[in-house]
Amino acid sequence: MIANNIFRAIGNFFTNVVFRPYDMIRFMHNWWAQNTFSFILIIIAFIGLFYWLNELKKYEKLGGE
């Protein structure tokens, strides 16, 4: 019974707190606002990817183990 309540609490937390901004974006009636948010996330992901690859190059240049 306690384990069931814990899993329900975790599900409730993610549904009502963590994913709330995504629900607001999903129900927008403005295509441009939705896609602007998506493009910003894609740009952040590419910046992180290029940073990570640059760090790997530095590590290999130093004779990484």
Side chain identity, residue 20:
R
User: How far apart are the C-alpha atoms of 49 and 45, rounded to whole Å?
Assistant: 6
Model confidence at 65: pLDDT above 80: no
User: How far apart are the C-alpha atoms of 3 and 33, rounded to whole Å?
Assistant: 40
Model confidence at 41: pLDDT above 70: yes
Q: Which domain holds residue 38?
A: 2-61
What does the pLDDT read at residue 26? 84
User: How far apart are the C-alpha atoms of 32 and 10, rounded to whole Å?
Assistant: 33
Provide mean pLDDT across the span 1-29. Answer: 87
pLDDT top residue among 2 and 17: 17
Total domains in the fold of the chain: 1
Q: What are phi and psi of 34, to 5 degrees?
A: -60, -45
